[in-house]
Structure 1
Amino acid sequence: MIKVRLFFHLKTITKELWLFYLKKSCKISNFVRINRSISLK
């Protein structure tokens, strides 16, 4: 029982981390794109 709960907890944490990472990478790629367009002008 405890194992299952722990596993579920880990899954939730991983999901949160993954979402956080996705948001960050999205921001970074947007930032890079903006910088590139600025440097192209």
Structure 2
Amino acid sequence: HASGRIRPHISHVLPFDLALDGLELLRSRKSTGKVVITQ
């Protein structure tokens, strides 16, 4: 939200080459928040 009042919980930040690992975290429900994939 533009006012900055919504702050999602980011549980993992992974580089692009580990994107499949990030998907596995989501699939296995081991993530407690957002999984962010970076370049």
Q: With structure 2 as the length reference, what TM-score do the two structures score?
A: 0.30
Larger Rg: 1
Q: With structure 1 as the length reference, what TM-score do the two structures score?
A: 0.29
Decide which structure has greater helix share: 1
Decide which structure has greater strand share: 2
